[in-house]
Amino acid sequence: MEEIESYPLSTLPGTTALFRNFTKMAALPDRTGVRRWYPADPFSLGWAASSPRLEAERRLELASALAEQAKQMAAGPAALANIASLREGAAAVVTGQQVSLFGGPLLTLLKAATAVRKAQDATAASGRMHVPIFWMASEDHDLAEADQVALLSKTGGRASVETLRLGIEVSRPLPVGGLRLGDGGGASKESLEVTLDRACALLGWSPICDLLRECYAPGATMASAFGKLLSKIFAAHGLVVMDAGSRAFHAMGAGVLRAALERSDEMRELLLQRSLELEEHGYHAQVLVTADHSLLFLLDQESGARRPLLRLEQGGWKAGAKAYTTADLLEVLATEPERLSPNALLRPVFQDAILPTAAYVGGPAEVAYFAQAEVLYRQILGRVTPVLPRMMATLVEPAIANTLAAHELRFSDVLEAKTAAALAQKMGARAMPIEGKRKLAAVGNTLEAELAALTAYMASLSAELGRAAGVSASKMRYQMNRLRRMAANFEVQKESSLNRHAAAIMLNLFPEGHLQERVLGGIWFLARHDEDLAAHLIQHASVERAEHQVLSL
- HEC states along 70-120? HHHCCCCHHHHHHHHHHHCCCEEEEEEEECCHHHCECHHHHHHHHHHHHHH
Q: Which DSSP string corresponds to 15-61?
A: --HHHHHHHTGGGS-GGGSHHHH-SS-TTS-GGGGG-----HHHHHH
Other beta carbons within 10 angstroms of residue 530's beta carbon come to: 14
CB 543 within 8 A of CB 390: yes
pLDDT digits (tens, 9 = 90+) for 37-55: 998 888 889 999 988 999 9
495 pLDDT above the threshold of 80: no
Supply the pLDDT for residue 171.
83
Q: How confident is the model at residue 25 (pLDDT cuts 50, 70, 90)?
A: confident
Supply the pLDDT for residue 286.
82
Q: How confident is the model at residue 484 (pLDDT cuts 50, 70, 90)?
A: confident
Show the CA angle centred on residue 421, arms to residues 415 and 422, nearest 5°: 45
pLDDT digits (tens, 9 = 90+) for 312-352: 988 899 999 999 999 999 999 999 999 999 999 999 999 99
In whole angstroms, give the CA distance from residue 120 to residue 124. Answer: 6
- What is the percentage of the chain residues whose pLDDT exceeds 90? 66
Q: Which residues contact 43 (CB under 8 A, 6 or more apart)?
A: 23, 26, 543, 544, 545, 546
CA-wise closest residue to 553 among 524, 523, 531, 533: 533
pLDDT digits (tens, 9 = 90+) for 267-317: 999 999 999 999 999 998 888 888 888 899 999 999 999 999 999 988 899
pTM of this structure:
0.87
pLDDT digits (tens, 9 = 90+) for 57-83: 999 999 999 999 999 999 999 999 999
pLDDT digits (tens, 9 = 90+) for 384-423: 999 999 999 999 999 999 999 988 899 999 999 999 999 9
Residue 340 forms beta bridges with which residues?
Answer: 298
Average pLDDT over residues 9-18: 85
Average pLDDT over residues 228-250: 96
Other beta carbons within 10 angstroms of residue 129's beta carbon come to: 18
CA-wise closest residue to 186 among 219, 214, 209: 219
Q: How confident is the model at residue 437 (pLDDT cuts 50, 70, 90)?
A: low
CB 149 within 8 A of CB 100: yes
Mean pLDDT over all residues of the chain? 90
Other beta carbons within 10 angstroms of residue 2's beta carbon come to: 8
CB 362 within 8 A of CB 95: yes
Q: Which residues contact 380 (CB under 8 A, 6 or more apart)?
A: 255, 256, 259, 349, 353
1 pLDDT above the threshold of 50: no
Supply the pLDDT for residue 215.
96
Q: Which DSSP string corresponds to 362-399?
A: E-HHHHHHHHHHHHHIIIIISS---EEEPPEEEEE-HH
Average pLDDT over residues 108-134: 97
CA-wise closest residue to 419 among 503, 315, 354: 503
- What is the percentage of the chain residues whose pLDDT exceeds 70? 96
Q: How confident is the model at residue 443 (pLDDT cuts 50, 70, 90)?
A: confident
Q: Which residues contact 546 (CB under 8 A, 6 or more apart)?
A: 8, 9, 20, 23, 24, 43, 389
In whole angstroms, give the CA distance from residue 311 to residue 148. Answer: 34
Amino acid letter, 262:
E
Q: Which DSSP string corresponds to 322-362?
A: EEE-HHHHHHHHHH-GGGEEE-TTTHHHHHHHHS-EEEEEE
Q: Which residues contact 153 (CB under 8 A, 6 or more apart)?
A: 159, 160, 161, 162, 202
CA-wise closest residue to 147 among 174, 113, 119: 174
Give the number of residues written for the chain: 553
Supply the pLDDT for residue 12.
85
| Distance set, CA 124 to CA 48, 130, 519 (Å) | 10, 9, 34
Average pLDDT over residues 412-441: 81
Residue 269: which H helix or E strand, with range?
Answer: helix 264-280
User: Pairing state of beta strands 2-8 and 340-342?
Assistant: unpaired
CB 451 within 8 A of CB 477: yes
